[in-house]
Amino acid sequence: MALYSYKKVIVEKNISREQNAFPLIFNKMPKEQLTVGKVLSGLKHDFQDMLTTSKLASLAIPLILITTGGLLLYNQITPEIDQRLKEVSGYYEQGNVTLVEGEFLSAREQYLSNPGSQYFQHLTQEALEANVIKEDPVSNNYQGIFYLTIESLEFDKLAVTANVESGIEEVYKSVLQTTLAHFKGTGLPISDVQNNIVIYGHSAAGDYYKRTGDKVAAFSLLRKVRMGDEIIIHMDETTYKYKVSSTGIIEPDDTRIINGKVNQKTLTLFTCYPDGSNGKRFMVVAKPFEE
């Protein structure tokens, strides 16, 4: 009689050879918990590996950097090219002509221009000699802030300092750091005297105004004004409405900026042109109207 007997072991097909051989080891192995840090670390490793092994990546990354630099340069130079092309084509000539000024401090100075106090002194002297500015004590004695709205340019009550001594550089520079400036000696809507109202402000080069939204450089958009656009002056809780009658580009010494229309109560806005440069001036002339 045999002392031992043997029986064939049936191995399930779904169990791998390793699992069948080491069942306890598989059951006791701890499962590693997946975390965000480990995922990011893995992605970083894969990215570094791609950079060192992939020819496509070595070409794509410089191309991305070059494209980014090109877009930044494009945003800076295209506004000036656009202005030049429109000037040559007569786009800005809608009747009469005139322009603006600029200047800033520190970082602003690289974008804004400064025509200098002698420029304003010249305009004032020419206007006085031509007797186009009438005596107007109501306007000349007004001190304070009033506001300018141009809906077509999304200007909503931009502050304007009244009767700025524009012939003194330190004075008008200080004012233009925070508000637009009203040219001292010109009219205001609170008076019945038929004088021209003159308001000026900074323009900025490149896409400075677009990027920063700095209201001090808001007149960078002045050249976008079109015939018939409405301009509103808010003063002493009263609104005075004007409609644009002409726009244009003129030389710096053109006194039409101050003179306006003889014996007419007009409003003139001006700034340096091209934006950020004091080479010329861009002017907008508007006439009062009632609805």
pLDDT in tens, 201-237: 988 888 888 888 888 899 999 999 999 999 999 999 9
Could you report the per-residue pLDDT of 66-89, keeping only the tens digit for each? 777 666 666 656 656 666 666 665
Of the listed ranges 11-15, 63-67, 122-126, 279-283, the one predicted with least confidence: 11-15
Distances (CA, A) of 167 to 163, 272, 284: 11, 16, 22
How high is the pLDDT of residue 249? Answer: 93
Whether residue 255 has pLDDT greater than 90: no
Torsional sign, CA 211, 233, 160, 86: positive
Q: What three-state secondary structure class fits 195?
A: coil
What CATH number labels 94-288? 2.40.260.10
Per-residue confidence band for 7, with pLDDT thresholds at 50, 70 and 90: low
User: What span, in angstroms and rounded, lies between the C-alpha atoms of 149 and 158?
Assistant: 6
Distances (CA, A) of 53 to 56, 65, 107, 122, 228: 9, 20, 44, 69, 63
The amino acid at residue 51 is L
Whether residue 38 has pLDDT greater than 50: yes
Average pLDDT over residues 138-153: 96
Whether residue 90 has pLDDT greater than 60: no
Residue 203 has a CB neighbour count (10 Å cut-off) of 32
User: What span, in angstroms and rounded, lies between the C-alpha atoms of 194 and 264?
Assistant: 5
The DSSP bridge pattern shows strands 197-200 and 180-183 to be antiparallel
Q: At residue 256, what are phi and psi to the nearest 5 degrees? A: -60, -25
How high is the pLDDT of residue 32? Answer: 59
**Mean pLDDT over the full length of the chain:** 76
Torsional sign, CA 141, 147, 149, 154: positive
**DSSP conformation class of 152:** G
Whether residue 104 has pLDDT greater than 50: no
The full set of domain ranges for the chain reads 34-91, 94-288
Whether residue 139 has pLDDT greater than 70: yes
Distances (CA, A) of 287 to 14, 98, 157, 260, 267: 93, 15, 19, 10, 6
Which has the higher per-residue pLDDT, 43 or 6?
43
Residues counted in the chain = 291
By the 8 A CB rule, do 244 and 225 touch?
yes
Which has the higher per-residue pLDDT, 169 or 144?
144
Distances (CA, A) of 178 to 85, 96, 159, 222, 232: 32, 29, 8, 18, 20
By the 8 A CB rule, do 243 and 231 touch?
yes
How high is the pLDDT of residue 96? Answer: 34
Could you report the per-residue pLDDT of 264-274, keeping only the tens digit for each? 889 999 998 88
User: What span, in angstroms and rounded, lies between the C-alpha atoms of 239 and 288?
Assistant: 11
Q: Of the ranges 35-39, 114-118, 169-173, which is most confident?
A: 169-173
By percentage, how much of the chain surpasses pLDDT 90? 32
**CA Rg, the chain, in Å?**
35
How high is the pLDDT of residue 234? Answer: 97
Residue 103 has a CB neighbour count (10 Å cut-off) of 22
Whether residue 106 has pLDDT greater than 60: no
Q: Global pTM?
A: 0.62
**What's the longest Cα–Cα distance across the chain?**
145
Which has the higher per-residue pLDDT, 257 or 71?
257
Angle at 188 between CA 127 and CA 227, to 5 degrees: 85
